[in-house]
Amino acid sequence: MPENTLRAHDETFWRTFVGRYDVDPDEPLNLENGYFARMSRTVVEEYQRNIEFINRGNSVYVRQHFDRDHGEAIRRQVAQLIQAPTHSVAMATSAVDALQSLIRNYNGLKPGDQVLICDLEYASVKSAMRWLARQRGAEVIELVHQHPASFESLVGTYREAFIRYPRLKLMALTYVNHLTGLVMPVKAIAETAREFDVDIILDGAHALGQIDFNLKKLGIEFAGFNLQKWIGGPLALGFLYIAPHRLADIDPDMDEGHYPATDTRSRIPHSTPNIPALLTLPLVFEEHRALGGALAKGPRLNYLRDLWVRAVRDEPGIDVMTPDDPRLYCGITSMRFTARRDQQTMANRLLDEYGIFTVVRDTSVGPCIRITPGLTTLASDIERLTKALINLSRT
Ligand SMILES: Cc1ncc(COP(=O)(O)O)c(C=O)c1O
């Protein structure tokens, strides 16, 4: 077995690892780690030190030293996370900030063109694509993917759309969606999109840190990410990526003149960043790398997901919302109690009767309960979840 798979199963390792985090002993079992991750204790301490440092040095330090001494080095490290050149990324305050800046400034549309979104996109991405279409006189095509999905159904649905809507120019694509956790076959979809000359803006919010990918190999030229989910950074940091040869296809944001038009950073609003959070990133990245990065986090999260999914997959009252094709799932997976109409009531029962915290999300086939283990989740926690799901489905 490869080393990372071995480690994914090693509860002794992970029990020790959990010791690096402060977890409230009185809180319910948190299986809603998809919202944002806990920072390690050392990262929290570093963040606190940076808040005090910046508060002391204030603008004297920031104006004279931050950009020159740290800002560019941090940007370089962010770019290294996705194996991209430094000049292809620009810091943002969130994934939505990055994605909406790409969408708002995409200049390849003319009246009569079409843009594509699907049911699995994040709401702020959908609304931005609808806004863009309105501004440019374009039409919005909205797809609903088949459930359960398969590799072929996902790629085939896009191919059919590209054939049916020949004026399509731009589409949103969500690598890992926040509703069911389905992982999109990005490379195959991007290859198909290229055949039809359709540009893709990739939402990588849930992929970064738990899936090992290379944007160039995937064929992705525009993407937005955040750092608080699977990288473990402070809240409210994100970044966008524009393949250098496509920079001219995204306009400078509202003609902002702070950076020259040849600089990717001109494609995002210019504002005062959370400097203490930025200064904390080198330690965050060091810890991410020391653990083994996405190649270690992904297999661990998948292992925890497999533990509960394998135990409930054949339960007649449970529908698991992602298939078991390893190309199509990751740590986040939703489920629903098929005999119950109200999934929120079931999520409330999970919390009240079993002390397990989850979140309900609405999908095209109705509401479901999203279950997201984190790096502080142990196999024993998943056993507790499994028993609760089986009891609830049978009573
Ligand atoms: C798929 C997806 N895209 C975008 C976002 C937005 O990320 P942010 O809160 O950093 O803007 C989220 C947040 O949960 C998400 O799940």
Q: For 123, phi and psi rounded to 5 degrees?
A: -55, -40
Mutate to test the pocket of ligand 1, among 35, 93, 94, 228 (most ligand atoms within 8 A of CB): 94
Mutate to test the pocket of ligand 1, among 100, 202, 226 (most ligand atoms within 8 A of CB): 226
Give the Å distance between the CA of 91 and the centre of ligand 1: 15
- Give residue 81's Cα distance to chain centre: 14
DSSP H/E element including 223: strand 222-226
Which ligand 1 atom minimizes the distance to the CA of 238? 10
Contact 335, 305 (CB under 8 A): no
Mutate to test the pocket of ligand 1, among 32, 119, 121, 122 (most ligand atoms within 8 A of CB): 122
Domains and CATH numbers, the chain: 3-39+294-394 (3.90.1150.10), 49-288 (3.40.640.10)
Tell me whether the omega of the peptide bond preceding residue 148 falls within 30 degrees of 0, making it cis: yes
| Rounded average pLDDT per 10-residue block, the chain, 395 residues | 81 97 94 97 98 94 88 96 97 98 98 98 98 98 97 98 98 98 98 98 98 97 98 98 98 90 96 96 98 96 98 97 97 96 96 98 96 98 98 94
Which long-range contacts link 145-148 to residues 24+ away (Cβ below 8 Å)?
145/118, 145/119, 145/120, 145/182, 145/364, 147/180, 147/321, 147/363, 147/364, 147/365, 148/321, 148/322, 148/323
CA distances, 386 to each of 306, 321, 370, 390 (Å): 11, 16, 14, 6
User: 3-class DSSP state for residue 119?
Assistant: coil
Q: Token pair of 138, please?
A: 């374009």
Start-to-end Cα distance in the chain: 39
Contact 200, 193 (CB under 8 A): yes
Cβ–ligand 1 contact at 203 (below 6 Å)? yes
Cβ–ligand 1 contact at 95 (below 6 Å)? yes
Name residue 250's beta-bridge partners. 106
Contact 275, 66 (CB under 8 A): yes
Q: What is the pLDDT of residue 1?
A: 66
Q: Is the pTM of this model over 0.85?
A: yes
Which ligand 1 atom minimizes the distance to the CA of 94? 10
Give the Å distance between the CA of 228 and the centre of ligand 1: 10
